[in-house]
Amino acid sequence: MTIKDFCVRNVVTVTRSDTITTAAALMREHHVGDVVVIDDTGGGRIPVGIVTDRDVVVEVIAAGVDPRMLKVGDLLQRAVVSVREDRSYTDTVRLMTQHGIRRVPVVDAKGALVGIVSADDMLRQLAVPLAALSELPRRERHIEVQVRK
């Protein structure tokens, strides 16, 4: 299974020149904890960063900075880490762990944004098979009782 099979495709985006207030309003409107910062080029929406609700609180509000005066680009502290849509679930987990990130934009072969995946999304993907495995001992006993009657 590749990461494109379960990434979230409806990504909330902003540009570097948008204000922090705009980013926060979009997070609230769409009930998300982050926005992907993009450069909108002729080749598509290229992710250049991610701003999270935590970034807004810690770097702006707690620091006493007016969010209307600060641009999203001012919060970008490191290069964005993205994953190609044809990479596996395991590759994506490894990438997120290696870089210590909870969210990663998913891009096509040209680097254009196609989705986003978070640690929460990854955990949900694991939960279903793990729940099924947890039922195995009970199911095994049930089948054994049926067979040995």
Residue 35 falls within a domain, yes or no?
yes
Domain count for the chain, please give it.
1
Would you say 72 and 16 are in contact if contact means Cβ atoms under 8 Å apart? yes
Name the band, by pLDDT with cuts 50, 70 and 90, for residue 78.
confident
Residue 98 falls within a domain, yes or no?
yes
Least confident of 7-21, 42-56, 83-97, 135-149: 135-149
CATH number of the domain enclosing 78: 3.10.580.10
- pLDDT, mean of residues 33-49: 92
Encoded tokens for 43: 């080749």
- 41 versus 106: the higher-pLDDT residue is 106
Residue 43 falls within a domain, yes or no?
yes
Residue 63 falls within a domain, yes or no?
yes
pLDDT of residue 75: 93
- Tell me the per-residue pLDDT of 42-74, one tens digit each, with 9 for 90 and over: 778 999 999 999 999 999 999 999 999 999 999
Residue 79 falls within a domain, yes or no?
yes
Residue 57 falls within a domain, yes or no?
yes
Residue 100 falls within a domain, yes or no?
yes
Residue 30 falls within a domain, yes or no?
yes
Q: Domain limits at 83?
A: 3-118
DSSP string, the chain: -BGGGTSB----EEETTSBHHHHHHHHHHHT-SEEEEEEEETTEEEEEEEEEHHHIIIIIITTT--TTT-BGGGG--SPPP-EETTSBHHHHHHHHHHHT-SEEEEE-TTS-EEEEEEHHHHHHHHHHHHHHHHTHHHHHHHHHHHHT-
Cα separation, 125 vs 98, whole angstroms: 20
